[in-house]
Structure 1
Amino acid sequence: MKIGILSDTHYPDKTSYVPDLIFDTFRKERVELILHAGDLTSPELKRAFEDIAPMVVVRGNLDKLIFPEEEIVKVEGMKIGLIHGHQFLSLDSQVLKYKALEMDVDLLIFGHTHRFFFNKYCISEKEVMLLNPGSPTVPRRSDPTFIVGEVKDKKFNFKIFKPWETGWKWP
């Protein structure tokens, strides 16, 4: 199953533009599910994503819309946890690894930092992956990014999309 993964879109509170590249990529890649790790601050944007695929969203620190604090989604035998991350004083990998163990997930997707991050860890004889898709609209000290992931045979692989590298320019 292909999954569109993003976070921290902040439209329209911090940006007036969401690149068509995100929608075009999700359609072209035929994503079947979209996971948003918080700060989806517009019901219109949520509806636009839901026109492409079903969507699961968690609450970010700037969301006025009502979303849960965390979610667990099962995809082809893999358990994926979704949080924003503002709940923690520190978003270091140690805190996030233990959150993944607490949620009993194979992959923990988080946001809040607006920067891409991915790593695999073995902790308590369990492999966990941590993924922050970054922000496609309001990056912090990084390029804007979003992800298309694929879960197949309980394995997770992904492509990172960096709009600046594909020739897309801010309006």
Structure 2
Amino acid sequence: MMRQDILFQDRLRIVIGVIADTHVPDRVDALHPELENNLQSEKVDAIIHAGDISSPAVVKQLEHIAPVFAVRGNRDWAFSKALPWSRTIVIGGVRILLIHGQGGLWDYLVDKVWYLLDGYRPERYLRLIERHLKDEQVIVFGHTHRALVLERQGRLFINPGSAAFGIGKDGQPSMGILEIEEGRASARIVNLSKLKANGRSWKKF
């Protein structure tokens, strides 16, 4: 049964930090140095992490800013069964599906082949995610490392991109902000500086 959380029922406006693919420490050794400051400056009420967190320490670190609601990604072996693959969160009366977006093992392998043959096509990931939809109005996902805000068939799809690095040598790391006000949802992408990890430190390209 899919996990469901109900939050902020008595609030007219809620600000949510949306992040994904932090990859600490499997690909980088620390969170992007701007990430926490940005979340704090946006005064987020909660943080949603769409998977590929890699270490439970990341969740604990972010919880110093706001409550964290997360799902497992394909690289989240450390979480075992501590996190669900998907969950529904009801925030301010808006139903949100949170899912990483890689699908099952077969879907993941098939997508790898299609990616090599045809490159990035958001439609492939949207179709995978839509299999899990019920009556959610907002869908938050990750996995692609490509930021996306899209309205599709009356639903709002949000991929915040990777908070560590984007695709390619000069990929743009990013996060998202989801605002819910009087039962309506809107989202925007916030770009982070293009940095690269050098051990536990970061430096500009």
Q: Normalising by structure 1, what TM-score? A: 0.87
- Contact 1:136–1:144 (CA<8 Å) still a contact in 2? yes
1:107 paired with 2:135, answer: no
Q: What is the deviation of 1:63?
A: 0.4
> Does residue 149 of structure 2 align to residue 118 of structure 1?
yes
Give the equivalent residue in structure 2 for 1:157. Answer: 186
Tell me how many residue pairs correspond in the alignment.
162
Residue pair 2:146, 2:159 contacting (<8 A) in 1 also: yes
Larger radius of gyration: 2
- Runs of 4+ in structure 1 deviating by more than 4 angstroms, as ranges, are none
Unaligned runs of 5+ in 2: 1-13, 112-123, 197-201
How far residue 27 of structure 1 moved from its aligned partner, in angstroms, is 1.0
Give the share of equivalent positions with the same residue, in percent: 28
Contact 1:10 1:138 in 2 (8 A): no
The structure 1 residue matched to 2:156, chosen from 124, 129, 132, is 129
Superposition deviation, residue 99 in structure 1: 3.3
Work out whether residues 15 and 138 of structure 1, in 8 Å CA contact, stay in contact via their aligned partners in 2: no
The counterpart of 1:146, out of the listed 151, 162, 175, is 175
Q: What's the CA shift for 1:45? A: 1.2
CA shift, 1:80, in A, is 0.5
2:51 corresponds to:
38
Q: Distance in 1 between matches of 2:188 and 2:126?
A: 21
SS at match of 2:127: helix
Unaligned runs of 5+ in 1: none
Q: Provide the TM-score with structure 2 as the length reference.
A: 0.73
Q: Is the 8 A contact 2:158 2:187 kept in 1?
A: no
Structure 1 segment 22-37 matched on structure 2, within 5 A = 22-37=35-50
